Amino acid sequence: MRHAPLVLASASPARRRLLEQACIPHRVQVSGVDEDAWRDPDPLQLVLALARAKAEAVERDLVLPEREQACGVLGCDSLFVLDGAAYGKPRDAEEAISRWRRMAGSWGELHTGHCLLLVVAEAAEPGSKTPLPLLATVTTRVKFAELSDAEIAAYVATGEPLACAGGFALEGRAGPLVERIEGCFSNVIGLSLPLLRRWLA
């Protein structure tokens, strides 16, 4: 895997930026998986299943350039859990405000499922079997600051929470609203770079 290019099966700009900032060469191919159609009462299993579904959807349609004999396909999915309830992106500003009123002063957990598949060109290894996928869920605990209604409304008015799992972007305007992080920092943004480093090594 060390020399195989990486294909990110995600439309997330935050995940692309993480890979760019870490100088990990990659290209993007969006999976098209309908996340809303998936259900599982266990958020850790749900994000893992969605990560795998995204990676496998891209793998099925992937055509390797002639210069490539293999590549890795990375699928990820994130979900925020607060007081036992799982949250994706808020539907609208009203929902984002209601959620932030519960989040303020509280701890939550951000779960990200990761799936890495190795795609090998048939010409490179005729008859070779596709290796089993690498699968992992990484969890990071997040402590939010005590906030006034005015501060919450001002943040939601930026529109940022509506595009993020959990309704906040740690790397964006929500940075000052988060007091503590326990666990992997990049995981909250979209994927665990330490996990990916171990896999790619």
Q: State pLDDT tens for residues 58-111.
A: 998 887 776 777 889 999 999 999 999 998 889 999 999 999 999 999 999 999
Q: What is the rounded CA–CA span in Å between residue 51 and residue 129?
A: 21
* Domain assignment present for 1: no
* Domain assignment present for 152: yes
61 is catalytic: no
* Domain assignment present for 18: yes
- For residue 129, pLDDT over 60 is answered with no
Residue 7, beta-bridge partner list: 27, 73
Smallest CA-to-CA distance from 21 within 179, 174, 171 is with 171
- For residue 125, pLDDT over 50 is answered with yes
- For residue 2, pLDDT over 50 is answered with no
pTM, rounded to two decimals: 0.88
25 touches 39 (CB < 8 A): no
Concatenate the DSSP letters of all residues of 101-130 into one string.
HHHTT-EEEEEEEEEEEEEE-TTTSTTPPP
Nearby residues of 29 by Cβ (< 8 Å), 6 or more positions away? 7, 8, 9, 58, 61, 62
3-state helix, strand, coil in the chain (%, to 5): 35, 25, 35
Number of domains in the chain: 1
Distance of CA 151 to the CA centre of its chain: 27
Strand, coil or helix: 69: coil
For residue 22, give its domain range: 6-200
* Domain assignment present for 187: yes
Strand, coil or helix: 13: helix
* Domain assignment present for 11: yes
> Considering 42, 77, 83, 92, which one is annotated as catalytic?
77
* CATH for 62: 3.90.950.10
* Domain assignment present for 168: yes
Greater confidence, 196 or 164? 196
Nearby residues of 17 by Cβ (< 8 Å), 6 or more positions away? 171
